[in-house]
Amino acid sequence: MIHYIDLLSIQTPKHLRKGFENRTRFDCGNYEINIFETFQSSTKVEIKYEGLSISGMIRGRKVVYTKQGNKFDFLPGTSLILPEGETIFADFPDASEKSPVQCATILIPHQTIIDNLKYLNQEYLNEEAIWALDFKNFHFNNNASLVRAFNELINLATQKKQLFALNDLLLKSFLVRLIDAQNEHSQEVDVLNNNNQLFLIKNYIKENLASPLTVEILTNVGNCSKSTLYRLFDAYCSKSPGEYILNERMAHAQNLLLNPNSNVTEVAYLSGFSSVSYFAKQFKMVNNCTPGDFIKKFGM
């Protein structure tokens, strides 16, 4: 299931959007939040920060290359954590003035991380494991708790009046949720590696959102019974297959609507809805606004 950081309006003034990248910085006391917005296609951009960085993609796509030679798409719904001084490179193949890439990055000084993890391990000792960040598991899916924490930090940072005591408390909460999201992602990867049926079904859904996705089709893909299909989704996704598919289609529709040439009718069909009115009804239930209002608020 995909969990997205709340969309932000573009922060960069229009007269500055022709440059490669713009950075909006918010001082939060013992850490900072940056909103990076990229308006030009580019390749092999070096990315390196002072302090720990935790980045959440909001819109668009980066193709990230690590020093170990790994390559992956950094997309909305995922986060990326890098230790101080770590260097990666990124391509921005789709970035343009009308389709910018937008990313929120939290920068935390090394000593602040040490102090906060020390506090967590002293005050909330975990019998199973210590509180620690997993830098081997550096690119991972968001969970609902991490997204709420990201949104809390961004919302507080963008207020005119800063409450640094609250910033500090929210940072501790964010680190707890970050570690939990990394652990949950590792467990999900283990489940998919050990459960070929669920892997095949979820991958099929992802690649066929515009097509009919019936229970019969999914049981054939997974070579399983209807009861097994529902048990798999209940156990590992906490949703029915239908609820999971609707969530994926809504997430896909949001991304399509951000395209400057988007058309609500076309987006509805490309997201797997046979009725535009039903799509609009479901979209409003999930996003508290119509597709048209969504385009006006977040589109370019």
CA 158, chain centre distance (Å): 19
Q: What is the CATH number of the domain that holds 87?
A: 2.60.120.810
Domain boundary among 192, 212, 234: 192
Domain boundary among 163, 192, 221: 192
| Co-location of 278 and 289 in the same domain | yes
| Co-location of 163 and 266 in the same domain | no
| Co-location of 135 and 25 in the same domain | yes
Sequence letter at residue 131: W
* 113 lies in some domain: yes
pLDDT, position 212:
93
| Co-location of 76 and 153 in the same domain | yes
| Co-location of 29 and 167 in the same domain | yes
Q: What is the secondary structure of 217-266 as a DSSP string?
A: HHHHHHT--HHHHHHHHHHHHSS-HHHHHHHHHHHHHHHHHTSTT--HHH
pLDDT, position 21:
82
pLDDT, position 33:
95
Sequence letter at residue 225: S
pLDDT, position 126:
67
* 2 lies in some domain: no
* 7 lies in some domain: no
| Co-location of 174 and 282 in the same domain | no
| Co-location of 183 and 209 in the same domain | no
| Co-location of 137 and 263 in the same domain | no
> pTM of this prediction?
0.82
pLDDT, position 129:
67
* 119 lies in some domain: yes
Q: What is the CATH number of the domain that holds 239?
A: 1.10.10.60
Number of domains in the chain: 2
Mean pLDDT per 10-residue segment, the chain (300 residues) = 85 81 90 94 90 94 88 93 91 90 95 92 76 90 92 88 83 93 87 83 93 95 93 87 92 88 91 94 90 84
pLDDT, position 72:
92
User: What's the residue count for the chain?
Assistant: 300
| Co-location of 127 and 203 in the same domain | no
| Co-location of 20 and 163 in the same domain | yes
Angle, CA 6 vertex, CA 3 and CA 59 arms, to 5°: 85
* 151 lies in some domain: yes
Nearby residues of 93 by Cβ (< 8 Å), 6 or more positions away: 41, 43, 61, 63
Domain boundary among 192, 213, 247: 192
| Co-location of 173 and 276 in the same domain | no
Nearby residues of 97 by Cβ (< 8 Å), 6 or more positions away: 17, 18, 39, 40, 300
* 209 lies in some domain: yes
| Co-location of 47 and 101 in the same domain | yes
d(CA 153, CA 147): 10
Nearby residues of 94 by Cβ (< 8 Å), 6 or more positions away: 41, 60, 61, 101
Note down the domain range covering 150: 14-192
